[in-house]
Chains A and B, each alone.
Chain A
């Protein structure tokens, strides 16, 4: 073999300082700006295998892994389904996606993989809040203080948690420091630019976790390329009744107050009049056209503002707080999680009943304070706006309330999943407070299409009260 060529990690790529006429694997591209060969960092493991075949001597300085983190592991024993998932991932060459329903211990699977390999690890989560949650779980389960990259913090440590957005921005600089990369809610990865974080990283061990691997845009195959094949799959129906409790959905229809309804109707009339007038001029006029026009046309902007005001009336309807009051009274002895559609509604509920609210503005300290307090029972309720929408590990909450919200089918599955934790034998209860005859109803209908929802029994608030007498 010839003299070895230096291979370095160069901002998300691998640069091979070999002459232009060298024989290199096909995934290399000649970069005349720096007179060297270049390829994506993800190809590192492959390159090491291919080097011999190409008689390519490598002076490989690409990896600069953190030293193995010193862990104090305190994990509960794994169930057989979790062990099977880990086994499948190991067999697949430590690259692959594990599909398991929410609430069936995906986080524990990842933690025990980190522990068994003592690997410097980067965990990528879709939201800031989940990032902090991972940090908590790593502290509790592995006795290790993980760094936080994102949310204005730049702690690049042997185990680090980050978001998809931050990973995309920063992987160029840290893609050679980790042996294991974990993508939580991995179905987010094939997004238009976010997938580049997986390309810019050379970690040989890759783990994807998800409950719902499908994407509407059909970019799923990318997951296999970026993380690895689907190595384990378990669907919600299998998990139901074993690791999750049964649940009841109570839909509570409410109506706007008189002044609210009056304003709502006035707004509706104005909007309808505008749309009708436009349609007379232009038959295909639709909302998209309105949004486009609102950029330049003050009247269109005014109509759009009225429409937003309508949404705000529904989202912040005073009646929602009154119904919430009833529900809180009904379940006075139980902890309760309330989901809202807007930050403002979350703060309204928080200030009205003096319950902590977690929103996108809550920082790590407050979040930990609140979640710890909620776990220990010193806090009895919790209001969450969007932030807990995916994979929140609630300590066996039995009462959930949804005060409006709109995020499609996947969210509904996951929202439910959070409440389905088994503890004791009592069923969980999910209240859905819906304003009648508005967009809220449409959202509830869409939610109803989800598999888990279809099979859930539906009762009225009156029936619910009677159930509680037993």
Chain B
């Protein structure tokens, strides 16, 4: 991730809007040159490599140079004497020197260094680098990935700048039409809280953190940035954030959407449970005993929280039952879930839980469907039918 000091952004006073910097196609030759520097200088010291990369980037807009070098440096692997050994050796030299304090004669000093380092350093700069080989400046470049392209660097830059701008956000709004489940999962992983509003075509999520109701705080900037890295892999979203660059400054509006293509080069989202769901959908078929299956179409609100079912079953007679697969759970968790649902009313829910964990519960409600490796149709169908006859599944 880029640091706040390396951000590059553009603002427009008239519209009070701000955008993070992006590299255009003209930048690619410079990026290629800088990548070549890293590939060709394996074995050299970090300071030298970075300076050579800076020279290779000369001609790029000046403020883009440092962030690009940072991204390259993060991609590279460096080597240095690990652990406390180097420092201990160094202090041993100093202690030896202290016995002859003050050691003002240069030759004497070099001789003493020679007893610790072989061959002894020939120049002053060499002496500094040998004594302090564990300092980042003097680390040696060990490897640079051969498949890292200028396009990948450009994409990392574009996303990195957008993330870094979010460090100054106090809240983030996302309008989405799809992938609600992933949006919520990602936000939970990033430890954000949300408010939810229904919009014309989907939902509006407003994300911030616990303390945000007490004061305007930038404390969740890193969480927003982490969340964005996941969000860019989804489709059809639009993000809005208020950016306050400095206390007392007027806030600027930062907008991003799936159409900006920040996640274009990244792999499609890894669905946590997609294989299980897909296999089941295939076995169920288009229709079975009057039930039709659809995937992730309905979003249910229970209080301020969101329930995104994995499947919705609709019977010809109008009965609608939703099924949610829960990966990890406890009896208390289920109880809480059903309690919340009871408060809302009118929702028919089956929760599929891994069998291995189901053993912990003494008695499971009828609406809980334990499964081992896959969801079994013969276990599911009676539970669906129960909803048609009775008013509720419990």
Residues in A lying within 8 Å of B, measured CB to CB: 10-13, 15, 29-35, 38-40, 168, 172, 192-193, 196, 199-200, 294-298, 300-301, 325, 328-329, 332, 347-348, 350-357, 359, 361-363, 365-366, 369-370, 373, 378-381
Contacts and interface: CB of A to CB of B under 8 A. Distances in A.
A297 to B, nearest CB: 7
Given A11-B191, A196-B219, A295-B61, 18 more contacts: A12-B211, A33-B195, A34-B193, A38-B210, A38-B213, A172-B211, A200-B211, A296-B63, A325-B102, A328-B102, A347-B132, A348-B128, A350-B132, A353-B102, A363-B84, A363-B87, A369-B91, A379-B95
B217 interface: yes
B8 interface: yes
B219 A366 contact: no
A329 B104 contact: yes
B373 interface: no
Contact of A381 (B58, B102, B215): B102
Contacts of B218: 193
Given A295-B63, A351-B128, A192 B247 contact: yes
B266 interface: no
Nearest to A367: B87
Given A295-B63, A296-B61, A380 B98 contact: yes
Contacts of A13: 210-211, 214
Interface in B90-109: 90-91, 93-98, 101-104, 106, 109
20 contacts: A11-B211, A32-B195, A38-B213, A172-B219, A199-B215, A200-B211, A294-B62, A295-B61, A295-B63, A298-B62, A300-B62, A328-B104, A348-B128, A353-B102, A354-B93, A354-B103, A363-B84, A369-B87, A369-B88, A379-B98
A324 B254 CA distance: 53
Given A10-B210, A295-B8, A366-B87, A380 B101 contact: yes
Contacts of B211: 11-13, 40, 172, 196, 199-200
B127 interface: yes
B112 interface: yes
Contacts of B124: 348, 351-352
A29 B87 contact: no
Given A11-B210, A351-B131, A354-B109, A168 B97 contact: no
B135 interface: yes
Nearest to A298: B62
A166 B58 CA distance: 36
A10 B193 CA distance: 12
Contact of A378 (B8, B90, B98, B109): B98
A297 B62 contact: yes
B303 interface: yes
B318 interface: no
Nearest to A361: B135
Contact of A353 (B91, B109, B303): B109
B119 interface: no
Contacts of B97: 353-355
A307 B43 CA distance: 31
B359 to A, nearest CB: 30
Given A39-B214, A193-B219, A301 B102 contact: no
Interface in B301-316: 303-304
B91 A33 contact: no
Ranked nearest first, the 10 interchain pairs of A and B with the lowest CB-CB distance are A354-B97, A328-B102, A366-B87, A301-B62, A380-B101, A295-B63, A351-B128, A351-B127, A380-B98, A11-B210
Interface string B186-223: 00000101110000000000000111011101110000
B104 A325 contact: yes
B327 interface: no
A295 B113 CA distance: 43
B94 A354 contact: yes
B106 A352 contact: yes
Contacts of B59: 298
B350 to A, nearest CB: 26
Contacts of A361: 132, 134-136
A328 B194 CA distance: 63
B304 A32 contact: yes
B146 to A, nearest CB: 29
A354 B109 CA distance: 7
Nearest to B94: A356
B95 A373 contact: yes
A12 B213 CA distance: 12
B219 A356 contact: no
A325 B109 CA distance: 13
Interface in B120-162: 124, 127-128, 131-132, 134-136
**Most chain B beta-carbon neighbours within 10 Å: one of A297, A301, A356:** A356
B195 A355 contact: no
**Interface core residue of B61, B84, B103, B214 (most chain A CB under 10 Å):** B214
Contact of B87 (A11, A332, A365): A365
B304 A33 contact: yes
A277 B215 CA distance: 48
Interface string B47-89: 0000000000011011100000000000000000000100110
Nearest to A11: B210
Contacts of A328: 101-102, 104
Contacts of B58: 298
Contacts of B210: 10-13, 15, 31, 38, 172
Nearest to A15: B210
A362 B132 CA distance: 10
B204 to A, nearest CB: 14
A306 B356 CA distance: 68
Contacts of A298: 58-59, 62
A365 B303 CA distance: 53
Contact of B102 (A32, A168, A380): A380
Contacts of B101: 328, 332, 380-381
Contacts of B304: 32-35
A332 B109 CA distance: 16
Nearest to B208: A33
